[in-house]
Every structure is written in structure tokens, then in C-alpha cells.
């Protein structure tokens, strides 16, 4: 039989990124966390944590993290049908997911919030680029994710959500200043662009498709979709914005497309661990319904 206090310690280290933060989350000392994981590694016979900054799970550690998260969901379901098993007062189970920032800023927040308001959960929403959220699933840090990857991670199911349409846009003054002779490789190599993070490849992908070759873009980094819009309206740079987010600015003329009719459509998928959980099923239905109403058809 596995030691579930040790499994909870392992999951906390991976989710929090360090032994110290895991200890604070579980209200124990860092040495207690270290001892539990050491004993668990001795029991399993291999390393479970890559002690880095932040700490990461090994392949075996990832599988154990997913196992303990599933157990928590199943225990929550059981308490719902057998109330005498529940602790005094309402108990909530942590439900970690990963979502890309643009989805969270446009269509994903309402269904997640409505689900959390109606169910005994504590949502832990991690934000990352859609091309990298699958890594959160593979590491065992989350149970579900909005991702650009169709192929499911090990132990997961993948469902298409639809495509998010992006438009390359900037302020009219920025376009006049930086692209007086049109948007070409040379002018793109000089005009400041906006990126969410070093992982953000959308601007480079759009430029490559337009110019049929790689263009090295000068970049401002702004890790917020709303800041992207504010910066673009102010003339700080050009960037790829979700169409739904900048529609009012396109309508009032404070933003214009760099090249009309050149959208970039990014297919999104909902991946989740395979678990017989009514809670996870309800979250799946809420996310899929919201995406179906907001995104382009798969």
C-alpha cells in the first residue's frame, strides 16, 4: 500500500516548485517533506523529483502525481454519495488545470468560474503558451489543459475545441511610421513587435507565412493579452491579437490590420486525464460548450 501522506508531499513539491513552498502549503516543515519523499523514493526504487529550480517530476514521479490527483477526485465523489465519510464542514478538492492566456482573456474564464461556483473545488489555473501547456499534463502538475497539441499526453484524452483567430494589428500611426511602403520582410525586421513571452511564436509564424522566410523580429515582452491591446493602441508595437479581444478597437479605428485578410487560426484542444470523476466530467462539458460557442469550428 502506498503512503498517501508521502504522495501528497510529492504532488505539493511538483505543484509548488520547491520543498519549502510545499511545506508551507501542507503546514509541515521542509525536513518533513524531504523525509516523506526520500522514504517514498526508497519504496518505489527510483528518483521521483528532479531537484532543480523549480523542482520537476521524473516520469515515475509524474505518474504518481496524476494518481494522487485522481484519488482526490474519487474521494470527493465518494463523500458526495456517502456524506458520513466527509469531514466536518464542506471539503473542496484542488483541481489544477493549465490554460493559455488568450483563451483565459476571451472565452475560458466564464465556464471555469461558473463551474467552480457550483462545485466543491478549488481551481488552480496555471497560465502558459498554448504550445507548452501539454508539458504541464506530462509533468503531472495539472489534470487538464487547453493546448495546441492534438496528440494526447500519456493517460489523457484529447478533444478539439475549435480555432482561435488572431489578427496582426497596430495603431494607424504605427503603421504609417513603420510600414509606409507596405509590410515586407525588411520593414518587419525594423518595426517593434509585441510578444507574450520568449515562448510566443505567433508573430514569427505570421511573418514567416507572409514573407515566405524567417524574419528576425525586434520584440517587446508583455505577459498579458490586455496589455498587448493597450500597448498596440498606444503605438508601442504590432502583434497578433485574438480577434474577439480587439474587435471594438478595429471598429473604432484605434487599431488596424497590418495586412487585411491575413488571419492566423490556431486550433485548440482540451486534454484531460482519464479519470472516472463526475467533477472532471462537468468541467469538461462546461469548457467544450463555451469553446463551441466562441471559437471557429474544429
3-state DSSP helix/strand/coil percent for the chain, to nearest 5? 50, 20, 30
269 close to 146: Cβ distance less than 8 angstroms: yes
Q: Are residues 171 and 252 in the same domain?
A: yes
Q: Domain boundary at 91, 120, 142, which?
A: 91
**pLDDT tens readout for residues 65-75:** 878 877 777 77
Range of the domain at 39: 1-91
pLDDT tens, position by position, for the chain (298 residues)? 678 889 889 988 988 899 999 999 889 999 999 999 999 999 999 999 999 888 988 888 888 887 887 777 777 766 666 666 555 555 778 888 999 999 999 999 999 999 999 998 889 999 999 888 988 888 777 889 999 999 998 888 999 999 999 999 999 999 999 999 999 999 999 999 999 998 899 999 999 999 999 999 999 999 999 999 999 999 999 999 999 999 999 999 999 999 999 999 999 999 998 876 788 999 999 999 999 999 999 8
Would you state the pLDDT for residue 169? Answer: 98
CA–centroid distance for 108 within its chain: 11
Would you state the pLDDT for residue 94? Answer: 81
**pLDDT tens readout for residues 264-276:** 999 999 999 887 6
CATH number at residue 198: 3.40.190.10
Would you state the pLDDT for residue 141? Answer: 76
Sequence-distant (6+) residues with CB within 8 A of 250 are 167, 169, 256, 257
Residue at 150 is within a domain:
no
Number of domains the chain contains: 2
Nearest of 296, 289, 271, 297 to residue 111 by alpha carbon = 289
pTM over 0.85: no
- Cα–Cα dist 54/258, whole Å: 39
CATH number at residue 43: 1.10.10.10
Q: How far is residue 227 from each of residues 3, 169, 170, 261, measured CA to CA in Å?
A: 46, 14, 13, 24
Q: Domain boundary at 91, 107, 131, which?
A: 91
Would you state the pLDDT for residue 84? Answer: 61
Residue at 212 is within a domain:
yes
Nearest of 54, 51, 10 to residue 33 by alpha carbon = 10
Scan for cell 523580429, then name that residue: 217
Residue at 219 is within a domain:
yes
Q: Are residues 87 and 168 in the same domain?
A: no
152 close to 179: Cβ distance less than 8 angstroms: no
Sequence-distant (6+) residues with CB within 8 A of 134 are 145, 147, 149, 153, 271
- Cα–Cα dist 258/211, whole Å: 13
- Cα–Cα dist 171/177, whole Å: 10
Residue at 209 is within a domain:
yes
Would you state the pLDDT for residue 154? Answer: 83
Residue at 64 is within a domain:
yes
Instruction: Compute the residue count for the chain.
Output: 298
Amino acid at each position: 500500500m502506498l503512503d498517501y501522506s508521502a504522495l501528497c508531499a510529492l504532488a505539493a513539491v511538483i505543484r509548488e516548485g520547491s520543498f519549502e513552498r510545499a511545506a508551507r502549503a501542507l503546514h509541515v516543515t521542509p525536513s518533513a517533506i524531504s523525509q516523506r519523499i526520500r522514504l517514498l523514493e526508497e519504496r518505489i526504487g527510483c528518483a521521483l523529483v528532479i531537484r532543480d529550480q523549480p523542482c520537476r517530476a521524473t516520469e515515475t514521479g509524474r505518474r504518481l502525481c496524476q494518481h494522487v490527483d485522481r484519488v482526490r477526485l474519487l474521494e470527493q465523489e465518494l463523500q458526495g454519495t456517502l456524506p458520513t465519510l466527509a469531514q466536518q464542514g464542506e471539503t473542496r478538492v484542488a483541481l489544477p488545470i493549465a490554460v493559455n492566456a488568450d483563451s483565459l482573456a476571451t472565452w475560458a474564464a466564464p465556464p471555469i468560474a461558473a463551474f467552480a461556483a457550483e462545485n466543491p473545488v478549488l481551481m488552480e489555473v496555471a497560465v502558459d503558451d498554448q504550445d507548452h501547456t501539454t508539458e504541464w499534463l506530462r509533468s503531472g502538475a495539472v489534470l487538464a489543459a487547453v493546448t495546441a497539441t492534438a496528440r494526447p499526453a500519456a493517460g489523457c484524452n484529447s478533444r478539439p475545441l475549435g480555432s482561435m483567430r488572431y489578427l496582426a494589428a497596430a495603431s494607424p500611426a504605427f503603421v504609417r511610421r513603420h510600414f509606409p511602403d507596405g509590410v515586407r520582410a525588411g520593414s518587419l525586421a525594423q518595426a517593434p513587435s509585441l510578444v507574450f513571452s520568449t515562448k510566443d511564436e505567433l508573430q514569427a509564424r505570421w511573418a514567416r507565412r507572409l514573407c515566405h522566410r524567417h524574419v528576425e523580429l525586434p520584440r517587446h515582452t508583455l505577459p498579458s493579452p490586455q496589455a498587448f491591446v493597450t500597448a498596440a493602441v498606444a503605438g508601442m508595437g504590432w502583434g497578433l491579437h485574438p480577434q474577439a479581444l480587439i474587435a471594438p478597437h478595429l471598429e473604432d479605428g484605434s487599431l488596424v490590420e497590418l495586412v487585411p485578410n491575413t488571419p492566423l487560426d490556431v486550433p485548440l484542444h482540451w486534454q484531460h486525464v482519464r479519470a472516472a470523476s463526475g467533477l472532471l466530467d462537468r468541467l469538461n462539458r462546461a469548457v467544450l460548450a463555451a469553446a463551441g460557442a466562441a471559437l471557429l469550428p474544429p
